[in-house]
Amino acid sequence: MSYRGAEAPKIQETQALKVEDYMAQKLITFKPDQAMHEVVDALMKYKISGGPVVNDDGQLVGVISEGDCLKEVVKGKYDNMPIFTGLVEEHMAKNVITVGPGLNIFEAARMFLDKRLRRFPVVHEGKLIGQISQKDIMKAVLNAKSSTW
């Protein structure tokens, strides 16, 4: 006969794998009224393929990419002068898909597959607070404890 009593159920610790825990927070951003040639300079200097565009209040208003810059190169070819003219707001993508900081990384991974994008700006209450990339998702998975999936 045992006097130990009932064993308490083991509570398994689960990991909250959220976007906010793995997103990049120090971002190169651009302003809508910034010149396109400055964007190209920054893309080359920092070895990035694009960046979020924010207004003076820190609100995300678009994204500018290498592809947007290349469109200007192609236009310039017809004038025999590939130059970068205009302002960011004239060339940026304005309908940007964003994610919230509390989104589970597995849901973010699904969005990457569904939308075929390489990164999502992370927005909280209308303001840009970071960016999550496919590489960030892979880092999160590698850091996860296999026993708490």
CA dist., res. 75 & res. 47, Å (int):
24
Architecture of the domain made up of 19-144:
Roll (3.10)
Residue 118: other Cβ atoms inside 10 A:
12
The reported pLDDT for the residue numbered 12 is 47
Single pTM value for the model? 0.80
The reported pLDDT for the residue numbered 73 is 72
The reported pLDDT for the residue numbered 147 is 45
Element counts in the chain: helices (H) and strands (E) = 6, 4
The reported pLDDT for the residue numbered 4 is 61
Residue-by-residue pLDDT tens, the chain, 149 positions: 556 655 655 544 456 799 999 999 999 999 999 999 999 999 999 999 999 999 999 999 999 999 988 887 776 555 666 667 789 999 999 999 999 999 999 999 999 999 998 899 999 998 999 999 999 999 998 887 654 55
CA dist., res. 41 & res. 36, Å (int):
9
Name the CA dihedral angle for 47, 40, 66, 18, rounded to a multiple of 10 degrees: 50
The reported pLDDT for the residue numbered 70 is 86
CA dist., res. 6 & res. 4, Å (int):
7
Domain ranges for the chain, please list them: 19-144
